[in-house]
A and B are shown apart, each in its own frame.
Chain A
Amino acid sequence: MDWSVSQIRTFAPDASALAAGEKISRSNWESSGQSGRALWGEIAGSGSRPYQVRVDLREFAFRCTCPSHKLPCKHVLGLLLRAGYDENSVPKEPEPDWIVEWLEQRDERAEKKKTKESTSAAPTPSSETKIDQQQKRSNQRLDRVTNGLEQYRLWLTDLIRSGLAGLETQTTSIWQEESRRLVDAQIPTLSTLVLTMQNIPGTGSDWPERLLGIMGRSALLYEAFQNRNELSSEFRQEVEQQLGWTVTQKELEATAVRVKDRWLLLGQSTQAGSNIETQFNWYWGCETKRFLLYLQFAIGRRGYSELLQPGSQINATAVFWPGTEQLRGRFIAKDEGNNSGSSQSPGRATCPEKAGQSIIDFLNDVSDSTARQPWRSLYPAFLRNAVVRLNVEKDRWELIDGSGFVLPLAGKDYWQLCALSASGAITLFGEWNELKLRPLSVWRNGYFVTALTETQQGDQR
């Protein structure tokens, strides 16, 4: 097993599951074992029969017979931690029948999915009817969005007419009502944006400028949508995606360009909504030198469908959402011969040679990117030859590159990064947002050393 204890801890859905997992790792397991492709164990629970815990090491999938809704549950975490603390405590043994059966079922399902995908690509008479129905639904949505946007424009105009100064003392209902209305109008992205706006009034002396900037950019989005027929098809697609139009998996796989590469997960961040949490996974194509943003969503108390570890790599073919930027993507085919889940364990993940760029080159890229897609709020920053220092006069943390250019960091406590760059430069990956950089992971001496802890990330938010 390639994962270290600290990496396994990051798999935990919450602190209590981790604490319980740590306890269980030291409990008496009725049986446990591992093979090259799986890890398993049996542990007594509250039921009459012991819980069967299994982990597929090839693609990091897991299953436990306990009734917990947490993913992974404390038993899976306990088993992983047990193996992580002491490899010998989970002996190498032939796979028992229930493991062989489970792995075979997984392989069968994967095979079936592949076959289904290849057969469904061919058009049939019934699919033509489906296309008609889709067109009808699409038209209905267009009407809703057009009306919703018009009302949003009136709402924005009213706010500016009466002045933003009064917002500091307003209740949150003004934002929440508008946000709900935008959900009804099927414009979820603007709905989220409005919820973001509600947190700005009164925070820092520059809040009017920040709020006005966001409102202004959304006004530009309205204008772009109104004039969408005059825009190029790529630009129009970007505008539509900004307003929440989705691209179906089928459309994506049928039309998008495929890019095969060794993809390195540079960093990970999350953004919490009211009932949904979005995970931003920033991949880097080691050969193609391009970013891929893979989004995962966790609804309610369920975890993410995949557990992805920063620093891990995968050989795979990716497809990208259409538009001027082509940043968001997903993997459609993983190279089976070369992957074992996270093919390279994070602690040993080397930084791709000559990866990263200077601050000036990065800012030039941000300018170009903004020109192509003006509504982006996050830019991946992969910066090399940099150090992190505290600017005592301004009381803020800064990243300084070899040419002496400085980027301010978002957040309050970066002593760990400062320590890591005490005697030499580091390569750092982070998110550039609203003129501040949020570090997510760091390489030092060619090795992936650390990602910021959840607490630190939480502090910054």
Chain B
Amino acid sequence: MDASLIKRALLGTDKMSRHSSELPIEHPIPILSELFRVIQEGDREETWQLLLKAGISSLAERVGYIPRQVNPSTDVEFAKPDKRPPMPSHFSEVLIKLLTIAVHCKPVSGHVISWLLEQVASTGCRFPDGDLPAYFQIFSKLSEYRTGQPLVLSLFGESGQWLARQKQEWNWLNIQTIPTEWSKEKLTELWTDGIFVERCQALEKLRSHNPNLARDLLLESWKSEKVEQREAFLQLFSIGLSDADLPFLESALTDRGQGVRRVAVRHLLHLPQSELTKEMTRQAERILAGNVLPPDAFDTSKNSNRSAIGQSGFILTPPTEWNTEMKKNGLIEKPDDGFARSDWFLFQIVSRIPVTHWEIFFARKPEEIVTMFEKDDSFSALFCAFSNALHEFGGSLDWLHALLNAAIKARKGCSPVPILEAEAHLIRYAASNAPLCLKNLFLNSASCLKQKNIIETVLHVLIQSEPLPWNEQFCIELFPYLINVRSGPEIITQYMPLFPFALRRQIFQAIGQSNYSIRITGVSKEKLREQIVLCNDFDRTLETILNFRKNV
């Protein structure tokens, strides 16, 4: 539309008169002749003429609209053709619902998601194109599935990878396809222009095959990164950690961010040559054997006669006073709930030393070491520290047995009760290293543990350590415990796809019983029932597709 026309309309014709009475229309639309013929005749006031001209200009724009043109062969990009068929839309709809439920229940149901994806991949189908945005939304919340997951990549297919390139927030899908040998330019470009998730993924990959280059890259931008990002990047140094990282990690001990300092401490404790590890070892030895060792015994470089240690009684001697050295070493002054002040210092210091160190130091077996301190007032804190250390640095199964036995004894009232969280650490360690041992222990001692609520932790651990798909026997063993614990219905909901079809029917019937429904607290009966229907639908459709493909 003519700019002068708009200007006059904005200011008002009273203020900006054109002093012209003719209708300045040059007949821009010949085919509108009928309308023009009637409006050309007669005198009109200036304001009305302006409006008529605006109306005609607007019509002229509509009639004469010329669209922009691009070169379709060069300017329009398509995804590569994908030979695999898209999964049926009904199946995809069910899968999206199940994944959405699972996403809201994470991290507990990580197993369910993996299992679902493996089942879908076995059909040889990919996500339908129209549903790709929905899947991107789901996986954007599942960072653990985004890196180096060929399964996820194959399900998204060529269209998914193409779509990811169009939207930066989804481009994590393509990061894993970057070759291991990256050019310096490509790296710098990604590090400078990438979004946070992309940079994390790039750093993670780089740490796994060239940790020094990864560190140098991070050092370039370290000072300009936000504190949360510094912490997240530093977390990734657990991959490929070596003495070469020492100077950088030690410099991070003075970082402004508390989280950054905490992560640096954790990494340094995994490096035996770090000053921090040496200092912590000295302090821990002083706590565990300070009352019996001669002063020079703390010098671990000297080959003292360790078998002599322990002839006399051991008393734990934790530090009682807070000092600046402790602060510098990343210890926390204020105790967590359940800890006395000196026990809190003991717990923090001993947690930082691998349990294997004590086998050499005392020249005794784990069971003996644990028993040595069993009667001590600070045993509870020591137990927590050993459990933490076992979880953090690893150790032999003898340590696991020794600590679990101590826990059971404590539960039976034989010794002070250890803190629940320490047991959880212990059990997690057991789950990843000796699930069978834990299962037997659990099934034998459930009646004892049940009263202390630890059963839930054990259940979670057992569930996550059980190989997929779950067998029916395992589910049958598990089910009675699930319906008796507080978060049982939630666990049932989250793991529903992994329960065999027949057992789902049992669950369905159990839900129908009023005495069971009363137990359901956070989860509605409707939600459970809906989940069962969805899972049955998923199973049936999956079976249909697999049979179809088998026959083809």
**In the complex, what residue of chain B is closest to A220 when comparing beta carbons?**
B55
Task: Give the Cβ gap from B79 to chain A, nearest Cβ, in Å.
Answer: 4
List, in ascending order, chain B residues with CB within 8 A of A366's CB: 62-63, 65
| Interface residue B522 (Cβ < 8 Å from any Cβ of A) | no
List, in ascending order, chain B residues with CB within 8 A of A444's CB: 129-130
- Contact check, A218 vs B55: say whether CB atoms are below 8 A apart: yes
Q: Quick one: given A213-B57, A400-B70, are A165 and B163 in contact (CB under 8 Å)?
A: no
Instruction: Give the residues from 403 to 439 in chain A that come closer than 8 angstroms, CB to CB, to chain B.
Output: 403-407, 415-416, 418-420, 422-424, 435
Task: Give the Cβ gap from B448 to chain A, nearest Cβ, in Å.
Answer: 40
Task: Give the Cβ gap from B258 to chain A, nearest Cβ, in Å.
Answer: 39
List, in ascending order, chain B residues with CB within 8 A of A371's CB: 29, 31-32, 63
Task: Give the Cβ gap from A110 to chain B, nearest Cβ, in Å.
Answer: 35
Task: Give the Cβ gap from B91 to chain A, nearest Cβ, in Å.
Answer: 13
Q: Which of A138-146, A153-161, A174-182, A270-278 is near enough to bind chain B? A: A153-161
- Contact check, B79 vs A422: say whether CB atoms are below 8 A apart: yes
Task: Give the Cβ gap from A229 to chain B, nearest Cβ, in Å.
Answer: 9
Chain B contact patch, size range: 35 or more
List, in ascending order, chain B residues with CB within 8 A of A219's CB: 48, 51-52, 54-55
| Interface residue A36 (Cβ < 8 Å from any Cβ of B) | no
- Contact check, B78 vs A424: say whether CB atoms are below 8 A apart: yes
B180-220 interface bits toward A, Cβ cutoff 8 Å, 1 = contact, 0 = none? 00000000000000000000000000000000000000000
Task: Give the Cβ gap from A44 to chain B, nearest Cβ, in Å.
Answer: 16
Task: Give the Cβ gap from B171 to chain A, nearest Cβ, in Å.
Answer: 13
- Contact check, A160 vs B82: say whether CB atoms are below 8 A apart: no
| Interface residue A162 (Cβ < 8 Å from any Cβ of B) | yes
| Interface residue A23 (Cβ < 8 Å from any Cβ of B) | yes
Q: Quick one: given A400-B76, A404-B72, are A231 and B38 in contact (CB under 8 Å)?
A: yes
- Contact check, A223 vs B52: say whether CB atoms are below 8 A apart: yes
List, in ascending order, chain B residues with CB within 8 A of A420's CB: 129-130
List, in ascending order, chain A residues with CB within 8 A of B61's CB: 213, 435
| Interface residue B132 (Cβ < 8 Å from any Cβ of A) | yes
List, in ascending order, chain B residues with CB within 8 A of A213's CB: 1, 54-55, 57-58, 61
| Interface residue A227 (Cβ < 8 Å from any Cβ of B) | yes
Question: In the complex the two chains form, what is the Cα distance from A15 to B31 in whole Å?
Answer: 48
Question: In the complex the two chains form, what is the Cα distance from A405 to B41 in whole Å?
Answer: 40
Task: Give the Cβ gap from B195 to chain A, nearest Cβ, in Å.
Answer: 15
Q: Which of B8-16, B337-345, B406-414 is near enough to bind chain A? A: B8-16
- Contact check, B6 vs A209: say whether CB atoms are below 8 A apart: yes
List, in ascending order, chain A residues with CB within 8 A of B15's CB: 163
Question: In the complex the two chains form, what is the Cα distance from A169 to B508 in whole Å?
Answer: 62
| Interface residue B68 (Cβ < 8 Å from any Cβ of A) | yes
- Contact check, B72 vs A235: say whether CB atoms are below 8 A apart: no
Question: In the complex the two chains form, what is the Cα distance from A338 to B64 in whole Å?
Answer: 43
Q: Is the interface of B mostly helix, strand, loop or mixed?
A: helix
Instruction: Give the residues from 512 to 550 in chain B that come closer than 8 angstroms, CB to CB, to chain A.
Output: 526, 529-530, 533, 537
| Interface residue A85 (Cβ < 8 Å from any Cβ of B) | yes
- Contact check, B1 vs A212: say whether CB atoms are below 8 A apart: yes
List, in ascending order, chain A residues with CB within 8 A of B129's CB: 419-420, 422-423, 444
- Contact check, B159 vs A405: say whether CB atoms are below 8 A apart: no
Task: Give the Cβ gap from A371 to chain B, nearest Cβ, in Å.
Answer: 4
List, in ascending order, chain A residues with CB within 8 A of B56's CB: 216, 220
Give the one of A212, A230, A416 with max B CB within 10 A. A212
**In the complex, what residue of chain A is closest to B530 when comparing beta carbons?**
A26
Task: Give the Cβ gap from B76 to chain A, nearest Cβ, in Å.
Answer: 6
- Contact check, A422 vs B35: say whether CB atoms are below 8 A apart: no
Residue in A224, A374, A435 whose CB lies within 8 Å of B38: A224
| Interface residue B34 (Cβ < 8 Å from any Cβ of A) | yes
- Contact check, B130 vs A449: say whether CB atoms are below 8 A apart: yes
Residue in B10, B52, B68, B530 whose CB lies within 8 Å of A220: B52
Task: Give the Cβ gap from B537 to chain A, nearest Cβ, in Å.
Answer: 8
- Contact check, A415 vs B55: say whether CB atoms are below 8 A apart: no
- Contact check, A423 vs B159: say whether CB atoms are below 8 A apart: yes
**In the complex, what residue of chain B is closest to A163 when comparing beta carbons?**
B12
- Contact check, B65 vs A363: say whether CB atoms are below 8 A apart: yes
Question: In the complex the two chains form, what is the Cα distance from A230 to B36 in whole Å?
Answer: 12
Residue in B29, B70, B166 whose CB lies within 8 Å of A406: B70
List, in ascending order, chain B residues with CB within 8 A of A407's CB: 67
| Interface residue A370 (Cβ < 8 Å from any Cβ of B) | yes
- Contact check, B34 vs A232: say whether CB atoms are below 8 A apart: yes
List, in ascending order, chain A residues with CB within 8 A of B55's CB: 213, 215-220
- Contact check, A156 vs B51: say whether CB atoms are below 8 A apart: yes
- Contact check, A374 vs B10: say whether CB atoms are below 8 A apart: no
Question: In the complex the two chains form, what is the Cα distance from A374 to B28 in whole Å?
Answer: 14
Q: Quick one: given A218-B55, A419-B159, are A406 and B132 in contact (CB under 8 Å)?
A: no
- Contact check, B34 vs A208: say whether CB atoms are below 8 A apart: no
- Contact check, A85 vs B57: say whether CB atoms are below 8 A apart: no
- Contact check, A402 vs B159: say whether CB atoms are below 8 A apart: no
- Contact check, B159 vs A422: say whether CB atoms are below 8 A apart: yes
- Contact check, A230 vs B38: say whether CB atoms are below 8 A apart: yes
- Contact check, A217 vs B59: say whether CB atoms are below 8 A apart: yes
| Interface residue A450 (Cβ < 8 Å from any Cβ of B) | yes
- Contact check, B530 vs A374: say whether CB atoms are below 8 A apart: no
**In the complex, what residue of chain B is closest to A377 when comparing beta carbons?**
B62
Instruction: Give the residues from 345 to 365 in chain A that come closer than 8 angstroms, CB to CB, to chain B.
Output: 347, 359-360, 363
25 pairs, A vs B, C-beta closer than 8 Å: A5-B93, A26-B533, A157-B51, A165-B10, A208-B6, A209-B1, A212-B1, A212-B58, A214-B58, A215-B55, A216-B55, A216-B58, A223-B38, A227-B38, A360-B67, A363-B65, A367-B64, A371-B32, A402-B72, A406-B67, A415-B167, A418-B163, A419-B132, A420-B129, A423-B159
On B, residues with C-beta under 8 Å from A are: 1, 5-6, 9-15, 29, 31-32, 34-35, 37-39, 41, 45, 47-48, 50-59, 61-65, 67-72, 75-82, 89-90, 93, 129-133, 158-159, 162-163, 166-167, 526, 529-530, 533, 537
- Complex A-B, nearest 5 residue pairs according to Cβ-Cβ distance, in ascending order: A216-B55, A163-B12, A216-B54, A213-B58, A227-B38
Given contacts A216-B53, A220-B35, A423-B162, 20 further A-B contacts (CB under 8 A): A212-B58, A213-B1, A213-B58, A219-B55, A224-B38, A227-B38, A231-B34, A235-B34, A367-B31, A367-B63, A367-B64, A370-B59, A371-B29, A371-B63, A401-B72, A403-B72, A406-B67, A422-B132, A422-B159, A449-B130
